[in-house]
Amino acid sequence: MSNFENLLKECKRQNPQAMLKLYNICAQPVFNTCLHIVMNDFDAEEIMQDSILKAFGMTDRFLGTQKDFIAFVRKIAVNKSIDWYRRHSKEPIFTEIENETDTQPDDSDEETYPIEKIIEKMELLPNGYKMVLKLHLLDELDFVDIAEILNIKASSVRSQYVRALERLRQFIIHNA
């Protein structure tokens, strides 16, 4: 039995030390995911804690590795974050895009920029673009998962992603 399986077993028995250890394993990646969506520390932390507590309530049914468990908690957190965003935002996250061909950004004139500059310019993007970029690039969710979470088509997520990359590229180039 692996260390994680033992830890999970102890969490199922409501061992406080084991639960704290599992919490510490999940906290930072789940917090970062929440923060990418709700965009403020306080609410991201609340959602992170709620998500981990919900996952603790399901440990008796969980079978998998530590990486799987973190992904499981992150999925809960993403759903809770999107729900929070929908309740608290006056602007729509996305509009559905019909009959749009998938395009890929043109990488022929590829330049490199410091990550700090890219992140700074990313904050200038509309929230929907910013959310797709962060969920895909930073949280490594695929377009199908993002589409399921946002309740839109995967092709729309891809289009939003391409548009976000292009807008980000324009911000960086024109404000260099």
172: left (phi over 0), alpha (psi -120 to 50) or beta: alpha
Domain ranges in the chain are 3-88, 115-174
Alpha carbons 80 and 51: distance in angstroms, whole number: 7
Do 3-88 and 115-174 agree at the fold level?
no
Asked whether residue 146 carries a pLDDT value surpassing 70, the answer given is: yes
- Tell me the mean pLDDT in the region 87-112: 55
Alpha carbons 75 and 13: distance in angstroms, whole number: 24
Q: State the pLDDT at residue 91.
A: 59
- Tell me the mean pLDDT in the region 18-23: 94
Alpha carbons 58 and 63: distance in angstroms, whole number: 10
What CATH number belongs to 115-174? Answer: 1.10.10.10
What CATH number belongs to 3-88? Answer: 1.10.1740.10
Which residues are CB-neighbours of 54 under 8 A, at least 6 positions away?
76
**Radius of gyration of the chain from its Cα atoms, rounded to whole angstroms:** 18
Q: What global pTM score does this model have?
A: 0.69
The number of CA neighbours under 13 Å toward the Cβ of 11 is 26
Which SS3 state, helix, strand or coil, does residue 89 take? coil
Contact 114, 173 (CB under 8 A): no
Who wins on pLDDT, 127 or 29? 29
